[in-house]
Amino acid sequence: MSVSVADLPKSSALWGHVKQGDFLDCYRATAVPVGLELEEAVRTAIAYMPPWVRALMDLRNRIVGPLGLKAGKHSRRAGASDERVLDMTSGGERIVFTVRERLENEIILGEDDSHLDFRVSIYRTPVAWYVATWVHPHAWYGWLYLYTILPFHKAIMRLSAKRLEKVAKKPA
């Protein structure tokens, strides 16, 4: 597998959100079929998380919910009988996060909350796929939250990119 930390290409629409001082990270997956549909990429990378990620998100929601932070739907259970087409148009169904933008080669999902705003991008280029996250913290408590979850965030985003590469390994 060839997942690595990378710079997000400047052609990504996610750059339209980035301002000085914001957090941005990105993972590149190169062993993914370029012809993979964006919707399938989102399902693979983000929508269906393994049990350990769901457990972490459940714990997060129990901790931050009473503090007034959003504690929403964080993943669908893998293997759940949910084969219907997910609406991934801009402003469409809230899959894991709300779909904010749907472009030819990119889907951007995200949420705005009192502590921070964030977006997750699944971006396809002719040579690679990118899983990127932009975060704009609000005040000190947004930064505190970001730095608290950062090790988990990095592990989950790297896993998301690796899951894209597993699509290439599936037998036809």
Got the DSSP string for 34-89? TT--HHHHHIIIIIEE-HHHHHHHHHHHHHHGGGT-------EETT-S--SPP--S
Instruction: Provide the number of structural domains found in the chain.
Output: 1
Q: Select the more confidently predicted residue: 59 or 172.
A: 59
Alpha-carbon distance 25 to 83, whole Å?
31
pLDDT band at 74 (very low <50, low <70, confident <90, very high): very low
Q: Which domain CATH number covers 148? A: 3.30.530
**Per-residue pLDDT reduced to its tens digit, 8-23:** 999 999 999 999 999 9
Instruction: Report pTM.
Output: 0.78
Supply the range of the domain harboring residue 163. 3-169
57-82 average pLDDT score: 55
**Per-residue pLDDT reduced to its tens digit, 139-160:** 888 898 889 889 988 988 898 8
Task: Tell me which amino acid residue 160 is.
Answer: S
For 10, what's the count of Cα atoms within 13 Å in the CB-facing half-sphere?
0
**Per-residue pLDDT reduced to its tens digit, 34-51:** 678 888 888 888 766 667
